[in-house]
Chain A
Amino acid sequence: MRTSAAEGAAVPFRGLAAFLWTEVLVQAHENLAMATSIVVQGVLLVFVWILAPSLIGVALVGAVLFSMFAMGQRVLNEAAYIRIDHKANDLYLAGPLSPEAYFLGMSLGILVVYLTPVVAVGVLAEVVIRFSLVEAATLLLLALAVWVFAASIGYVFSTFFRDNRAIWAYSSLFFNVFGVLPPVFYPFDRFPAGLQPVALLMPPSAAAAILQNAIGATSLSSGELSLAVFGLAAESTLLFLLAILWARRTVQEV
């Protein structure tokens, strides 16, 4: 009987791989967006190279972390766009695809497609800094945490909008407040002392500070390091869990 085909309801992350692949195909056709995804980072690197070439290593590490943040931020635009313009929520979520697979598949799909330029910057950073194995692993872990935070907050935030144009302003705000202004591309100790705890609670600058500390570009006290590490871990984990719950909750409008 036809209805028997519909067994296995409510499986967490059901359809994740397939929706990830869908998003990869969608994003892979956006050649121009891929090519321009790293322009801001490139420009900031050029500024640092001209103004303070000795800081280029710090800036390259910052560019990797900032790019991961920017990729997470793309989720904000993509989730809102396909919900508002394409009614993809209605098409995909009124079916067996699980809401968390929809969120995570979209986020991972964007990550897969836009990762190549970030890896290139990472290789450049390796050439300049010569990471130890531990430092390289730390960079990977930090980049992942920053991406999880940004993708999660991007998805949650996307659900509040009914008009795409309203998002552009917020997207730009997030981009600059989290990525450009705080000490991501420059050493943590150059940031005003009174605001340093704030920077340590912002995931991209916290991650940058931890790595700068690891490679000797800045020196964090144990309290500062703890704040950065635990803050980043807690924010990323909690935001990710919130995004999963939010994805489930917002399938059904009130």
Chain B
Amino acid sequence: MSVEALRSEDLRKIYTQRGAPPVTALAGVSLNVHRGERVALLGRNGAGKTTFLKIASTLLRPTSGTIEVFGHDVGRAPEKARPYIAVVPQEGKPFFHLTPREQVYTYLRARGLGREVARSRTEESLERMGLTEFADRLAITLSGGQRQRTMVATVIATEAPLLFLDEPSIGMDPFARRDVWESLRNLTRRGSTILLTTHYLDEAEALSDRLYIIERGEVLVTGTSEDLKRSVGGTLKVSLAGGARVVESFRSFGSCVADGEHLTVIVAPERLGELMELAVRSHLTATVGPVTLEEAFLRVVGRSINED
């Protein structure tokens, strides 16, 4: 029998508080994650990503709808889903008075792994996350990035069938982020499934097989990062300094987004020469680059991912 690693159907979460109007965090989210997939939830702050992850990881009760982990109903029988999952919580921290080695090892033991397996997975995970050098220092003496790496090391060492990672590489330097990406790719090669939320579009692009863009508690679009980039309508992005004042002249080339003085135009390669000529005639400085997920996100949501 082949069940999805994760499947949600019309999942809703409405927060109610006495004396305050209800807040809809999820407004009917339906999505699925196939076994062995890496899927990213992309969205601005407050879009509902963390709420979804908390419900999926059995820590928050949905208002309505269904969600299943490997066929187990998370809402009705969360205890049956828990052995299949592991979570890097948003803003989670390792115990300050444990070393990374102690943190990872004791966590694995608490999940029921035997001594030998826990020991070897601990060493492997610490090494993968570049923590061997700090493995015996108390977490309280580590930097924010090193603590976050400890959290990720703790969870990836479980090799749980389904991993939830809420902003896993936040606060990390670029090298550490790449270590995380590589470790997560390794895990899925070994059979795990990963659902992550991220603010970093490059991370989503580099890491995920598929993306869901969420805004105001709704899934707006899903697909691969290439699908989403193609939907923008061109493969090149031209940034024109001072171009905002002449935006009408460039509309015929493709979608135009003005941001302050700047104008960004999405254009097909065959029309690039024509556009550049117009830019020169208009005394504008142009920078050309490939379309990224940022443009796809802007097109779908209508706002930048970093805009509150």
A6 touches B161 (CB 8 A): yes
B78 touches A91 (CB 8 A): no
Q: Which residues of B contact A3 (CB under 8 A)?
A: 70, 84, 161
The 3 closest A-B pairs by CB, nearest first: A90-B89, A29-B97, A6-B83
B110 touches A22 (CB 8 A): yes
Chain B interface category by residue count: 35 or more
Q: Which residues of B contact A21 (CB under 8 A)?
A: 106, 109
Nearest CB of chain B from residue A92's CB, rounded to whole Å: 6
Assembly CA distance A105 to B110 (angstroms) = 10
A252 touches B192 (CB 8 A): no
Given contacts A89-B59, A97-B111, contact A2 B191 (CB under 8 A): yes
Nearest CB of chain A from residue B153's CB, rounded to whole Å: 12
Name B residues whose Cβ lies closer than 8 Å to a Cβ of A. 54, 57-61, 70, 78-98, 102, 106-107, 109-112, 138, 151, 154-155, 158-161, 164, 190-192
B80 touches A86 (CB 8 A): no
Residue in B70, B86, B92, B96 whose beta carbon sits within 8 Å of that of A95 in the complex: B86
Assembly CA distance A91 to B89 (angstroms) = 6
B57 touches A9 (CB 8 A): no
Whether A229 sits at the interface, judged by CB under 8 Å, is: no
Residue in A10, A22, A96 whose beta carbon sits within 8 Å of that of B95 in the complex: A22
Name A residues whose Cβ lies closer than 8 Å to a Cβ of B. 1-3, 5-10, 14-15, 18-19, 21-22, 25-27, 29-30, 82, 85-97, 101, 105, 251-254
A25 touches B106 (CB 8 A): yes
Nearest CB of chain A from residue B268's CB, rounded to whole Å: 44
Nearest CB of chain B from residue A203's CB, rounded to whole Å: 30
Q: Which residues of A contact B91 (CB under 8 A)?
A: 87
Assembly CA distance A86 to B54 (angstroms) = 16
List 23 A-B residue pairs with CB atoms under 8 Å apart, sorted by A's residue number. Answer: A2-B161, A2-B190, A5-B159, A7-B83, A9-B80, A10-B80, A21-B106, A22-B95, A25-B106, A27-B97, A29-B98, A30-B97, A85-B93, A87-B91, A91-B155, A92-B107, A93-B82, A95-B83, A95-B158, A96-B112, A97-B111, A251-B59, A253-B54
A82 touches B58 (CB 8 A): no
B95 touches A87 (CB 8 A): no
Given contacts A29-B97, A90-B87, A251-B59, contact A95 B111 (CB under 8 A): yes
Nearest CB of chain A from residue B155's CB, rounded to whole Å: 8
A94 touches B164 (CB 8 A): yes
Assembly CA distance A89 to B191 (angstroms) = 26
Given contacts A95-B158, A253-B59, contact A86 B93 (CB under 8 A): yes
A94 touches B95 (CB 8 A): no
Assembly CA distance A52 to B59 (angstroms) = 54
Q: Which residue of B lies closest to A2 (CB)?
A: B191
Nearest CB of chain B from residue A138's CB, rounded to whole Å: 35
Given contacts A2-B192, A252-B61, contact A95 B95 (CB under 8 A): no
Assembly CA distance A237 to B128 (angstroms) = 47
Q: Which residue of A lies closest to B5 (CB)?
A: A3
Q: Which residue of A lies closest to B88 (CB)?
A: A91
- Among A2, A9, A82, A88, residue most surrounded by chain B Cβ atoms (within 10 Å): A2
Assembly CA distance A29 to B83 (angstroms) = 30
Q: Which residues of A contact B192 (CB under 8 A)?
A: 2
B93 touches A9 (CB 8 A): no
Residue in B61, B95, B110 whose beta carbon sits within 8 Å of that of A97 in the complex: B110
Q: Which residues of B contact A30 (CB under 8 A)?
A: 97
Assembly CA distance A94 to B93 (angstroms) = 15
Residue in A15, A27, A252 whose beta carbon sits within 8 Å of that of B59 in the complex: A252
Other A-B pairs, 16, CB within 8 Å; known A25-B102, A90-B57, A95-B111: A3-B70, A3-B84, A7-B83, A10-B82, A15-B109, A22-B109, A22-B110, A25-B98, A26-B97, A29-B97, A90-B54, A91-B88, A91-B155, A94-B82, A95-B82, A97-B111
Assembly CA distance A87 to B54 (angstroms) = 12
Given contacts A6-B161, A254-B61, contact A18 B93 (CB under 8 A): no
Assembly CA distance A251 to B111 (angstroms) = 16
